[in-house]
Structure 1
């Protein structure tokens, strides 16, 4: 692929969203007078939150950035988060990966986001800096001549964006892969490289892969009160630079090379924070940019350093005591602006039994931990664990991931991948931290300082004992932030079943509650779901599984309330092989197509306890059931459409022609209509679009309204003939959107608007069988969106 080049200074793109979109209901034909309200089916979080940023001058102004799900702003009255980037459309889907955020301390209404999801070829588009003058309600965009990695290794470092408090028209951006330090002097509208900055970084943690081989580059920018600008660089030999003349010239900070190694491991300065009152700059380092890896094979994985700004003296203030011995490395760092000398830091990926959060009230001279072991005289395992706070997961009980407390390893953890750690600069009692799944927070933080030590020595017993502590409460603070990547949807009517990346899936009878997480089989990611149309108590799903205990397919006979695992299919390993699953209309036969690309689909007539190879289908074929005839099932692979009339035991080519032979293709059977099918998919610059068959897949007619289509589904109908409403994520007249037809596809109306696009929506879509107009949309990072007619 030819690399796109730009001039050194890039002009701002057109405003990407407006407060009131101009055309809310574009249509291919016909008339649509329905207005829609959009909301999330509640899960609460579900993905990685690598950054939480408080505005330093305006209280309660807080932003949370996600790696694939956009940017959010805190709403203090409701204690919820508001999504700010739902206007991002299909073509710029990568802009939902937010690698950095900066909130202006001088004019707090100004906010900036550095966006771009991947630096490799997974994301074909360049990155951008988004700018807003109204707290993120509307945005403009300035494209950049390089990519940014909101979902790449190192995405929790930073922040890579910073507003100069001495001149808030000036904004700096640190970039990866040799692109250096960039600067805007017009509130983010245009950008140019700071050519005087001498070091673009050189640290590559793992050069062997297409994902792990990023040069982490320029990591963070921060400002001293005297006007000096400090910049952290991913170069263990030269990790820190300073400018005392508004960025005209730059020099290495004297003595900073000392922070580039620890116990023989080369490390980089991941985050920094100023204690202006005491004249200190604190820096956490780690051998790995994060967020996945644990500690190195030998020695320490990171350190905490303190720079005395007046004298240039460096002091290693790494905690010397902790319950696990060797710290794997550090993630988050924060300083209390109201209490000079108070700072906190978090380990990153101390997988067992939990992360450790450290707190110091004396500028790092001494530290206390969030939990400790109390060992008996014989050092028996497991030791007693004692904690400073309790974890309240109300509303997000799924955070146990199906586990139970096991000695010191609690089911509900402090977290993992903790890079976002922030004390409210206006309120010493409030802290928030992000994990790989949620945001935790408390408004009782200073209670920590009254607790004293967690463990002590009992002379009589001759061993440690847990000391009495009055714990405070840490609770979920992620409501409104939905970050799941939805893979498939089954709307049963009153019950919604979803398959989700990383979380397995959920069964929801109330869209305002997360519902039951599908944990058996122990899916690391759910891939597909289906139900028996004539017996909807039978629900099936497939997903990626780890280990050897569970099969990839799960079965429920009570509408998803409980789940049974199935037999593991010989030859299909664990990991990302979930594939797709279907169940016949009466629930008697399950067809599973493994995702390994080598194993032909199999069927089961005993709820997955035994499997038999289907005759006539190639590996990787996608299978769907007819929604009215138990004997009829269908399949598609590489341009060929297949049908079965013996309940899925054998399939034969229908002889259909003209269907896509490349790209991702899906098809769905129409509820209540035998032999009626709709197919979508294909590949740009090849066959791509939507087709309809009314004879079981022998003859297909192209739906000419759409030049591209990727997902199709059905809901309660509105017409006199009883045909279901049809919903599609598609492109018509050059416009991507969510489209609806109430007349069997003769006319289509776009039912979303430019403020509600949710980037990429091509995985799955479904209407509701009982609520006319309701549509469910799978997004890649903004959760499961649903819309209702508001009229």
Structure 2
């Protein structure tokens, strides 16, 4: 009897888990939204091209200029695969694609990198682990593979399945951007590996290979004439301000063109040069297009026109003011023409028409930043089959066009944003109020948007004030046209709290906020008259009627999750560690409840039943908790481990309990889950094709008007929305532990 009773205590039934066929689609921004450091055209097959991003995966070009994502299958255990650090195509088979993936080489990413290989144009992939880290989102963002972190040059002879270090390669790179900061303290390593196809006959291994190494003021370019058996420094190379970025062969000319910078980029660099190396004569020529006071930037992107020998283009990597710059030469660099020039300061001659019709908001962002042409321009290519077609990547989008040859005639081209399908934003917050736009987003680097349409790019980001990054956004439960959002720039003269009374159509600074305070999380009261702000570095603060924000001393100074009640104006909730707090005096003071959040050490998110005061859900590092009495007691939702973002949405039946959406770990599986019955049963919504990257970095939002619709904001692939498209089938029931 004792044995049976004890056994009974150990058996715990998990809530029923089902899976539902969910139709996932992208919320369209249409303009990329992040850094595109590499674009490669196939020289074998017309129209085949791929673009790699630093945190948003890999994309393939379509015939209509749009792009298809290829790594959306990467889920929580493969989130680092969205950092694509290198890209190569098989020159004899355009369906064979190789990428080096990994997000960071420092402690932020515990995973070693991998080589992903595809033989079907990116439809399927085979992953081959590496023994070291790869950093697609590290400084200096760039079969032989040149590695970071002093790991040197590696070689594969079996299509990437195994790799051997080239131990006789002379240098692994000594350049470190900034040793005082973990993010910038790593060795940049090797910058490029360029094959000279003319050095070997078809079907045999390439004998001549050039490798650029991140060294400054010393030898930085090496070559081999025997397929890597021996290596030597390229003779006569420049050794001043000579960190190489791109090395491109012009085969018909027998030239190697190289762009140099005095820093690794993609943000820095104050001087550089462009050099061409005559391979047969072994001579270098400086062909830098500007000098003196006009040379205040380094050089990054570099392209040759394979159809027109002697035609080359180069991009200024870091011309931060007044705009980026691109130069074009039709005589191997003897003379150049720019994409813009000064007419009479401050008037610029812009030799292009600017077309951002696919993503109108880009025009607002670029104009505010004074840089239409762009910044961080490491990728620049000319279609090897079409001299009119060109593309280049920036820190914001992909630009290009189909009338490039007009540069040489009328000196006026169409510069168009051509990033449709590339969604690379890091999404920090989402709301879906019951009125106004169906979705509003808080986004890193590009601010945030009112999405009046989910399938059409917004016309403008949030502005007046325009925040570069919007960490969070919230709506007032009883006055849902009233919104609050915050900015992240503590150094700005703009106050980093903004209010709207018309669903985000227009905004005004909250004059109760002091300058010098930024970031964190924000909540607005049910009536819209109180703002509670958990700042990044100044603790939790509160303001009513836009009066000056004051400190909330009854809450911890950091690590606090906050939310407003959507029914009662005076009520706010907070959580920190395993403690839950409630305020009933408009956020001025909070009292800790005696009931705790179990063994939690971190409270991640709070959401509420928008129709009932005191009905609150809390996600933590140790589980999911629910209270219906303002925290007097909590129910632990069985089956959940670490849970991160949580949200309620429209109920399945009129007047029913709201759906609850969670990104978290259920039965040790990280996924996107929904419950329609207060957590008694759960439905898994993500699938093999939609992994959404890092679960802990993502945000979730239920739609308040449409049952079952959920929005997932990712850390690198923008926003997805899902609608149930099929009946649920049981996949797990009554699992015992």
TM (norm. structure 1) is: 0.85
Correspondence 1:524 to 2:486: no
Correspondence 1:612 to 2:584: no
Match of 1:441 among 395, 400, 408: 400
- The answer on whether the counterparts of 2:580 and 2:597 sit within 8 Å (CA) in structure 1 is no
- The answer on whether the counterparts of 2:36 and 2:393 sit within 8 Å (CA) in structure 1 is yes
Pair 37,602 (structure 1): closer, same or farther in 2 beyond 3 Å: closer
- The answer on whether the counterparts of 2:390 and 2:400 sit within 8 Å (CA) in structure 1 is yes
Match of 1:223 among 195, 210, 220: 195
Match of 1:328 among 297, 307, 320: 297
User: 1:787, CA displacement in angstroms?
Assistant: 1.0
Q: What is the aligned partner in structure 1 of residue 382 from structure 2?
A: 423
Q: Secondary structure at the match of 1:374?
A: strand
Deviations along 1:578-632, whole A, 9 cap, x unmatched? 1111111121222112111xx34222221x3432333522323332111222222
Q: What is the aligned partner in structure 1 of residue 486 from structure 2?
A: 542
Query: Structure 1: where are the runs of 5+ without partners?
Result: 1-26, 158-170, 296-300, 376-380, 452-468, 683-687
User: 1:513, CA displacement in angstroms?
Assistant: 2.7
Superposed counterparts of 1:163-202, under 5 Å: 171-202=143-174
Match of 1:57 among 44, 55, 58: 44
Q: What is the aligned partner in structure 2 of residue 582 from structure 1?
A: 523
- The answer on whether the counterparts of 1:129 and 1:144 sit within 8 Å (CA) in structure 2 is yes
Q: What is the aligned partner in structure 2 of residue 685 from structure 1?
A: none
Q: What is the aligned partner in structure 2 of residue 114 from structure 1?
A: 100
Deviations along 1:120-149, whole A, 9 cap, x unmatched? 101111111111111111111111111111
User: 1:401, CA displacement in angstroms?
Assistant: 4.4
How far apart, CA to CA, are the structure 2 residues paired with 1:660 and 1:525? Answer: 33
Match of 2:632 among 686, 695, 698: 698
Q: What is the aligned partner in structure 2 of residue 670 from structure 1?
A: 609
How far apart, CA to CA, are the structure 1 residues paired with 2:677 and 2:623? Answer: 19
Correspondence 1:128 to 2:114: yes
Q: What is the aligned partner in structure 2 of residue 5 from structure 1?
A: none
- The answer on whether the counterparts of 1:521 and 1:545 sit within 8 Å (CA) in structure 2 is no
Superposed counterparts of 1:20-31, under 5 Å: 29-31=16-18
Runs of at least 4 residues off by over 6 Å:
none
Pair 183,123 (structure 1): closer, same or farther in 2 beyond 3 Å: same
Q: Secondary structure at the match of 1:517?
A: coil
How far apart, CA to CA, are the structure 2 residues paired with 1:568 and 1:721? Answer: 38
- The answer on whether the counterparts of 1:522 and 1:546 sit within 8 Å (CA) in structure 2 is no
Superposed counterparts of 1:15-414, under 5 Å: 29-76=16-63, 78-155=64-141, 157=142, 171-224=143-196, 225-226=198-199, 227=206, 228-236=208-216, 237-256=218-237, 259-261=238-240, 266-295=241-270, 301-320=271-290, 325-375=294-344, 381-382=345-346, 384-401=347-364, 411=370, 413-414=372-373
- The answer on whether the counterparts of 2:607 and 2:616 sit within 8 Å (CA) in structure 1 is yes
Q: Secondary structure at the match of 1:770?
A: coil
How far apart, CA to CA, are the structure 2 residues paired with 1:397 and 1:548? Answer: 26
User: 1:653, CA displacement in angstroms?
Assistant: 0.9
Pair 643,54 (structure 1): closer, same or farther in 2 beyond 3 Å: same
Pair 204,342 (structure 1): closer, same or farther in 2 beyond 3 Å: same
Q: What is the aligned partner in structure 2 of residue 646 from structure 1?
A: 585
- The answer on whether the counterparts of 2:484 and 2:524 sit within 8 Å (CA) in structure 1 is yes
How far apart, CA to CA, are the structure 2 residues paired with 1:644 and 1:61? Answer: 59
User: 1:765, CA displacement in angstroms?
Assistant: 0.6
User: 1:321, CA displacement in angstroms?
Assistant: 6.0
Q: Secondary structure at the match of 1:623?
A: strand
Pair 503,618 (structure 1): closer, same or farther in 2 beyond 3 Å: same
Q: Secondary structure at the match of 2:145?
A: strand
How far apart, CA to CA, are the structure 2 residues paired with 1:623 and 1:205? Answer: 38
- The answer on whether the counterparts of 1:727 and 1:775 sit within 8 Å (CA) in structure 2 is yes
Deviations along 1:752-780, whole A, 9 cap, x unmatched? 11211121133321111111211101100
Q: Secondary structure at the match of 1:655?
A: strand
User: 1:30, CA displacement in angstroms?
Assistant: 4.8
How far apart, CA to CA, are the structure 2 residues paired with 1:485 and 1:594? Answer: 20
How far apart, CA to CA, are the structure 2 residues paired with 1:363 and 1:437? Answer: 30
- The answer on whether the counterparts of 1:132 and 1:140 sit within 8 Å (CA) in structure 2 is yes
Query: Structure 2: where are the runs of 5+ without partners?
Result: 1-13, 200-205, 727-737
Q: Which structure ranks higher in relative contact order (CA pairs < 8 Å, sequence separation ≥ 6)?
A: 2
User: 1:646, CA displacement in angstroms?
Assistant: 2.3
**How many residues are treated as equivalent by the alignment?**
699
Match of 1:730 among 647, 664, 676: 664
TM (norm. structure 2) is: 0.91
How far apart, CA to CA, are the structure 2 residues paired with 1:33 and 1:662? Answer: 32
- The answer on whether the counterparts of 2:576 and 2:602 sit within 8 Å (CA) in structure 1 is no
How far apart, CA to CA, are the structure 2 residues paired with 1:404 and 1:187? Answer: 45
- The answer on whether the counterparts of 2:20 and 2:684 sit within 8 Å (CA) in structure 1 is no
Q: What is the aligned partner in structure 2 of residue 463 from structure 1?
A: none
Q: Secondary structure at the match of 1:93?
A: helix
Q: Secondary structure at the match of 2:488?
A: strand
